Structure formats: C-alpha cells, structure tokens
Amino acid sequence: MHTLFSRVNNLSALLSSCVMGLLAAIALSSMMLQFFEAPLEGGSVVVKGVKTSPPLFNWNTKQLFLYLDAEYTNAKGVKNAVVIWDRIVRRKADAKIHVQGQQKYPFKDKHTFRDASATYTLRYNLMPHVGALVYGVAGTTNTSVPFPPMNNNV
C-alpha cells in the first residue's frame, strides 16, 4: 500500500523533528543554567593570575574566550578601550591561567597613553555546543591604574 519511498520519507521527517526538539531542549536547559547558578564574582580576578569559576564549564560548554581590556580617557577627553590580552580555554583543566607582565598586543600609538590611567576589565564569551553565545564580565578594577612608562626606543 505504501511505497518504500514514502516510508523512508515519513521516518526521516520523524527523526529530524525529534533531533530539532532535542536541540531546542538543550538550548533551553543551557539558558536555565545561567539563571540558577551563581554568577562569576569579581573576586575571581587575582593579581598574579586569573582563575575562572567552575559554573562557566558545564556539559554544553564548547570553549570559553577570555579577554582583558583597558578603558581610558586620553588627553583630548576621548574615551577608548583597548584589548591587551586574550585566551581561548577549551577544557576546564586549562581554566587556571597564570599571566604576569605579558602584553599580547602592543600599543601602536603610544602617545595617547601618556599620563593616562585605565580601568581594566576581564570579560568572557562562553561558546556552547548548542544555543546562544553568553557574554559577561568576570571582574574589573575598582580604581584607575596608571599605564607604565613608555619606552621611546620601541
């Protein structure tokens, strides 16, 4: 009565609907985890290192993108933000990072940093296997920190 083609078509339609429903359930459950878990506290930023809290890593976490930016106002009164350092963390075991005195991206226009103080902020971007990207702030400095003196030979 039913041909082989129509049976295969019905079976593939059922399977694709089940897979889409499963992916939607995964995305919704990941969004619910964000509301019920404790947020990343500012106390997780350490002077000699940065450690991420375990709530950022769960069964749906593919990778975590961390970056440190400096926000400052130059002599002309223009507010700027510069990314100083970044790192991709793929596993929970690699989440404890110790970086001291390393600047990944050099400053191109060093004259804008003269006599300027910056507020440093550690931000993250959580990339799940299924679902929406999650952006957040891991920590920030409470007071402005002056830039170190620039080397004129560089």
pLDDT digits (tens, 9 = 90+) for 12-47: 999 999 999 998 888 888 777 666 544 444 434 443
Instruction: Write phi, then psi, for 43 (nearest 5 degrees).
Output: -70, -5
Instruction: Label residue 146 left, alpha or beta by phi (over 0 means left) and psi (-120 to 50 means alpha).
Output: beta
| Rounded distance between C-alpha atoms, residue 142 and residue 108, angstroms | 26
> How many helices and strands (H and E) does the chain possess?
1, 7
Query: pLDDT tens for residues 118-138?
Result: 888 889 998 988 888 888 888
Query: pLDDT tens for residues 72-117?
Result: 887 788 888 888 888 998 888 887 777 776 677 776 666 666 667 7
| Rounded distance between C-alpha atoms, residue 17 and residue 12, angstroms | 8
Torsion angle of the four alpha carbons 30, 34, 37, 40, in this order, in degrees rounded to the nearest 10: 130
pTM: 0.66
Strand partners, 96: 51
Q: Which two tokens stand for residue 25?
A: 């359930």
Instruction: Parse the chain into domains and list their residue ranges.
Output: 37-146
The structure tokens 């404890």 sit at 96
| Rounded distance between C-alpha atoms, residue 61 and residue 33, angstroms | 12
